Amino acid sequence: MESFLQQILQGLKLGGIYALIALGYTMVYGVLRLINFAHGDVFMLGAMLSIYFARWTGFGNQPSWLGLGATLLFAMAVCGAIGGVIERVAYRPLRNAPRLSLLIAAIGVSLLIENVGQLRQVFGPTPQPFPALIQTKTVAQWGSLTVSNVEILVLLVALGLMAGLHVFVHHTRFGLAMRAVAHDHQTAGLMGIPAGKVIFGTFVLGSALAGAAGVLWGLSYPVINPMTGFVPGIKAFVAAVLGGVGSIPGALLGGFLIGEAESLTAFYLSSTYKDAIAFVILILVLLARPTGLLGRKEVEKV
Amino acid sequence: MSALLEIQGVGMEFGGLKAVEGLDLEVAEGELVGLIGPNGAGKTTVFNVITGVYRPTRGRICFAGERIDGMAPHLISRRGIARTFQNIRLFKNLSALDNVVLGFNRSARQDVLGSMLLTAKHWRRQAGILKRSHELLDKLGLGLAEGRSSMELPYGEQRKLEIARALATQPRLLLLDEPAAGMNLAEKRELTGLIERLRREFNLTILVIEHDMKMVMSICPRIVVLDHGQKIAGGTPDEIQRHEQVIEAYLGEKAPSA
Amino acid sequence: MKVFWQNNMALLVVLLVVAAAGFGFQRHLDPYYYKILVDVGIAIILVVSLNLINGITGQFSLGHAGFMAVGAYASAALSVLAAGPWLNGLALGGAQKMVVEFVALGVIVIVGGVAAALAGFVVGMPALRLRGDYLAIATLGFGEIIRIVFQNTEQLGGARGISIPPPRSDFTGVYVCAVLCVAFIWRLVHSVKGKSFFAIREDEFAAATVGIDTTKYKVIAFVLGSFFAGVAGALFAHSATGYITPAQFDAVKSIELVVMVVLGGLGSISGSIIAAAALTLLPEILRGFAEYRLVVYSLLLVLVMLTRPQGLMGMKEIKLPWHRQPYQHKPVA
Ligand SMILES: Nc1ncnc2c1ncn2[C@@H]1O[C@H](COP(=O)(O)OP(=O)(O)OP(=O)(O)O)[C@@H](O)[C@H]1O
Ligand SMILES: [Mg+2]
């Protein structure tokens, strides 16, 4: 029983990170109908650049809340900027191109980030340790079930950011514009909403969340290399589709579902099947509900 | 003899919106019937339920004595119903010829092996269909356009090409959704002649949606009027023109602010 | 019969040339270049068959590597269990050996193709109800599941991989398959019925209203595409290295193939051939730049998309001069 709960806790932590990444996928898909393949790599950059930041500022040597907060903010700011640049340079010129071309451009950006990152002059191919920004402590214990402060922290930060996003999307003018563009590009344009700016802002926002997710990932799985983003990226995208791509609550639900499923599969079945379970669930759900758990059904008008 | 197309009590709802309600309509073999009504009256939706795009939420549709409501669109097409679209839906990147060839696809047998080995039999069949496609294009005056991709054609020719593609499926019933939309006077006049000619030559039964009253009145011996999803009138052009509800429906549309 | 020969003469000549070239290359070509040529041939099969699904029929599959894996492993199992020991037992030599191995390779390749086609059918039937990005992510998932299943099948070597006995897929074997794959797919999609594949991509709905059974054609495209992916997989498994691991068939491989299809031009078979050759050669050409080559590769990808989003060829085709038409129309003036 305790080991089951321990796995559930693991799953929550993992799921929170997936959900944060999934939000970026879902928001971008909402406004641009693009699977932003580079998103997982932005997440990786969040983790990787934080290592350098912590080294440079010295936060990595003495764990402190200040250091953690500063690193988190740094990662969000830098990733937000990177996301914005990617949108401007690689995606905007393709606004009217076939959607598949846009997708290939996204794949290209993803490969570019990974391959540049592997250069010796940049990060290099070898994994780098993520600094202990806070001291890992057991904060609660019931029998063999232990809860560490990192787990609590990751979950709280993830939930906090998601709550913030919810408020932002539902209670600001930008959020309203974003929803309008997601609902219908053309009409939004006709109503005077600057779709270009909204798309740009969405990329910045989504990438900032990915940056935060990068730091949280680093705290939990403290080895990072330039390829770190690929697998969590794909899984987070699966989470987004599972929940219903375009739906923010869907991303949450999907993220936590995948996190739990993985952690339980690794424990009860075999860790080699851990990577398959996300896809098995995805396929079963899509066959029953082709637009995901919370996705809107779209009827084609003829 | 019973009607070729029988629609009984058909209703179509989109999440609460009743696009068509309690529609009864019979079309006899060889008839040319006009379907008119203000914007949003549900005319296109009627076509969509006949051709199987939507399964009607109520009622039944029979074609040549067989129930077709709920059948898949391609099966309905094979029973002998063809249509054109209000917002032209050609195979844009394919040539005009290929669009018509695709209309003929039912006449060709799928012979995967034959097509891979290019056997003599397969080759002959291909030639036959290509020949018929060319002839059909010629008949509609599109002979010169055959090699061009269909999206490059002028608007009027695209509409005609859609008719050609529909005819290639060898239909008994042809549904035309605003075939004259966007055409100028001369083109409309040509189209009127064309519809008459094709009807005779191919023994067609035609149901046509059209906003141009003059055209409908001049070619259709019988007209059915829809408003808010319901049939409000049916009869000869003369009867329709004098029908009070019809006048109201159209006036109501023309002067919404009044 | 005369028409049949006229239609297939060119194909026969090409196949003979391939066989002769293979014979010459084996003796006189540097093994390094020989291997690259073989890789190009396998890539052509993969990309053209994926183009049938993604470009010509407009269904977005991201799981092609998975079907390649099925072909590779099915053929590997056949070779390890039956074909390899049997050939060994025959103890042939010289020309006899060559002929028997060539025929054995043919059987192995077909088995690989059929296994992948079956997998394609099982996956395609349910998955093709999904559209666009949903189909993409579902097929990506199927591909990954297939890979992970092989990774956990200890009888097939698990994650470590499995080594495969001869016969080896040489230049001749690979290019005979490539030529047949291109010719068959070309002929199919340019036949009257076969144009239905293009019609589905152009407007699935309009296609149904002219009587095309869209589901059937999508499944055919998927199954046939998977068949050739399986063929390529079998050839790959039996190539000179003679060793495969599940990791070679991961999502990255599938993505790479989609990239080639798009770069060549969605729906253009000649474009696919060019892209398959170019993108297989490019990393080799850039080998001099060692660690920069992947950077250059990905940069080129982005740049090509920004400057030519429709791909190299768009939907256009390069037609061979001896291309024949079943019917030539004489316009009535
Ligand atoms: N797929 C759909 N989903 C929801 N509502 C629909 C759908 N198709 C049609 N409608 C609605 O049904 C009503 C009837 O539409 P329809 O297209 O049949 O009208 P119409 O008579 O053809 O109009 P028009 O003359 O403008 O072509 C409209 O209010 C339309 O918005
Ligand atoms: Mg209409």
CATH number of the domain residue A9 falls in: 1.10.3470
Please report the pLDDT score of residue B227 as a whole number.
Answer: 93
The residue to mutate among B17, B228, B254, having the most atoms of ligand 1 within 8 angstroms of its beta carbon, is B17
> Across residues C10-16, what is the average pLDDT?
92
What is the spatial distance between Cα C237 and Cα C162, in angstroms, rounded to a whole number? 9
Nearest CB to C298; choose among A111, A230, A302:
A111
Q: Contacts of residue C210 in chain B, CB cutoff 8 Å? A: 77, 82, 102-103, 105-106, 165-166, 168-169
- As a whole-number percent, the residues of chain B with pLDDT over 70 amount to 97
Q: What angle, rounded to 10 degrees, do the helices at B185-202 and B155-168 form?
A: 10
How does C109-134 read in b/e, with b if 16+ C-beta sit within 10 Å? bbbbbbbbbbbbeebbeebbebbebb
Which of the four pLDDT bands, split at 50, 70 and 90, describes residue A259? very high
Please report the pLDDT score of residue A3 as a whole number.
Answer: 83
Please report the pLDDT score of residue C314 as a whole number.
Answer: 85
Neighbours of ion ligand 2 (CB under 5 A): B 44, 86
Distance from CA of A240 to the nearest CA of B (A): 26
Q: Which one is predicted more confidently, C45 or B185?
A: C45
Residue A134 within a domain: yes
Q: Tell me, in angstroms, the distance from the centre of ligand 2 to residue B209's CA.
A: 8
* pLDDT 10s digits, A54-110: 999 988 888 888 999 999 999 999 999 999 999 999 999 988 888 878 888 898 999
Residue A218 within a domain: yes
> What is chain C's mean pLDDT, rounded?
90
> Across residues C211-222, what is the average pLDDT?
95
Please report the pLDDT score of residue B256 as a whole number.
Answer: 43
Residues of C at the A interface (Cβ-Cβ below 8 Å)? 54, 60, 126-127, 129-131, 133-134, 136-138, 140-142, 144-145, 148-149, 151-152, 159, 205, 251-252, 255, 258-259, 262-263, 266, 291-292, 294-295, 297-299, 301-302, 305-306, 309-311
Q: Which one is predicted more confidently, C207 or A190?
A: C207
In this structure, which residue's CA is closest to atom 9 in ligand 1?
B45
To which residue do tokens 């879902």 refer? A26
Q: What is the dihedral of CA C282, C288, C293, C297, to 10 degrees?
A: -30
User: How many angstroms separate the Cα of C194 from the Cα of each of B101, C106, C177, C320?
Assistant: 11, 27, 21, 20
Highest mean pLDDT among A76-80, B2-6, B118-122: A76-80
On whether the CB atoms of residues B234 and B223 are closer than 8 A, the answer is yes
What pTM value is reported for the model? 0.91
Please report the pLDDT score of residue B252 as a whole number.
Answer: 65
pLDDT of A18 > 90? The answer is: yes
What is the spatial distance between Cα A29 and Cα A18, in angstroms, rounded to a whole number? 16
User: How many angstroms separate the Cα of A243 from the Cα of each of A63, A181, A216, A249, C31?
Assistant: 36, 20, 22, 8, 51
> Across residues A145-168, what is the average pLDDT?
89
Residue A300 within a domain: no
The structural domains of chain C, with segments of one domain joined by +, span: 2-250
Please report the pLDDT score of residue C26 as a whole number.
Answer: 85
pLDDT of A155 > 70? The answer is: yes
Please report the pLDDT score of residue A30 as a whole number.
Answer: 87
> What is chain B's mean pLDDT, rounded?
90
Please report the pLDDT score of residue C301 as a whole number.
Answer: 82
* pLDDT 10s digits, B222-240: 999 999 999 998 889 888 8
B193, with CB counted inside 10 A (0-12, 13-18, 19+), is: exposed
Cβ of residue A93 closer than 8 Å to a chain C Cβ: yes
pLDDT of A151 > 60? The answer is: yes
Which of the four pLDDT bands, split at 50, 70 and 90, describes residue A297? low
- As a whole-number percent, the residues of chain C with pLDDT over 70 amount to 98
> Across residues C171-187, what is the average pLDDT?
95
Residue A299 within a domain: no
pLDDT of C333 > 90? The answer is: no
Please report the pLDDT score of residue B255 as a whole number.
Answer: 42
> Across residues C11-32, what is the average pLDDT?
91
pLDDT of C269 > 60? The answer is: yes
Which of the four pLDDT bands, split at 50, 70 and 90, describes residue B258? very low
pLDDT of C78 > 90? The answer is: yes
What is the spatial distance between Cα B74 and Cα C205, in angstroms, rounded to a whole number? 9
To which residue do tokens 């083109």 refer? B187
> Across residues A129-139, what is the average pLDDT?
87
Number of compact structural domains in chain A: 1
Q: Which of B7-11, C97-101, C164-168 has the lowest mean pLDDT?
A: C97-101
- As a whole-number percent, the residues of chain B with pLDDT over 90 amount to 68
pLDDT of C322 > 50? The answer is: yes
- DSSP output for A258-289: HHHHHHHHHHHT-GGGHHHHHHHHHHHHHHHS
Q: Residue A100's domain spans which residues?
A: 2-288
Residue A301 within a domain: no
Mutation target to probe the B interface, by most B beta carbons within 10 A, among C191, C213, C218 is: C191
